[in-house]
Amino acid sequence: MKLYGCGKTRSDRVRWVLEEIGAAYDYVNINLAAGEARTPDFLAINPAGKIPALELDGEIITESAAICRTLADRFSDSGIIPEPGTVERGHCDQWCDFAIAELEQSLWTLSKHRSIYPAERRVPAIEEVAIWEFSKAADVLSKGLGDQLYILGDTFCVADVLLAHTLAWARGYKVPLGHENLEDYANRLLARPALGRVRALNAAG
């Protein structure tokens, strides 16, 4: 199993899951700043020129949420994903999809208009709308979480990885989470030892 990634990107979600499940894997650092995701060699792995990408059983899987769920299913004994066909699995998938389709989209918009798009394509005025959009998604998450420890209740799952990573992204962009239960949830999840190992691995290069 080989993960192609870059620190402080969505790759960290996948690496976090790998550390949670205790799976052995090789890591190939793709230096985005140096343009390594646009080389012919990497484009042969992911024609979109994006990370993360996971090589598993000789095949390539892309998209962070898909990779995370595949790994959680592959290592189901780790207990971080409910059994297929159960209501609990439906709820887990629901929050995974929410993290990608709703919670992170406004942050991705901020990313593109702050640093990714060419200067002539950036629209500074969009920032206010994006922050407002994030607040609306955070309202939904806050209600769904309530006073639970994790999004499914007392059990940590792969959806928590996606949600907490996105909340950390918001904090990094100085976007308010807006709810005390989300602040507590983020603090609890972002203190997990598995994520601490990811940070240490990133720091070590």
Q: Show which of 51, 78, 105 is a domain's final residue.
A: 78
In this predicted model, what pLDDT tens digit does every residue of 149-173 receive, in sequence order?
A: 999 999 999 999 999 999 999 999 9
Measured between alpha carbons, how far is residue 119 from residues 22, 37, 116, 126, 131 in Å?
42, 21, 9, 14, 20
Q: Show which of 21, 54, 78 is a domain's final residue.
A: 78
Residues 97 and 180 in one domain: yes
In this predicted model, what pLDDT tens digit does every residue of 1-58 receive, in sequence order?
A: 999 999 999 999 999 999 999 999 999 999 999 999 999 999 999 999 999 999 999 9
Kindly report the CATH number assigned to the domain that includes residue 42: 3.40.30.10
- Whether the model clears a pTM of 0.85, i.e. scores above it, the answer is yes
Domain assignment present for residue 164? The answer is yes
Residue 151: closest CA among 188, 176, 177 = 188
Angle at 127 between CA 134 and CA 166, to 5 degrees: 35
> Considering its fold, how many domains does the chain have in total?
2
Pairing of strands 59-62, 26-29: unpaired
CA pair distance 196, 20, nearest whole angstrom: 11
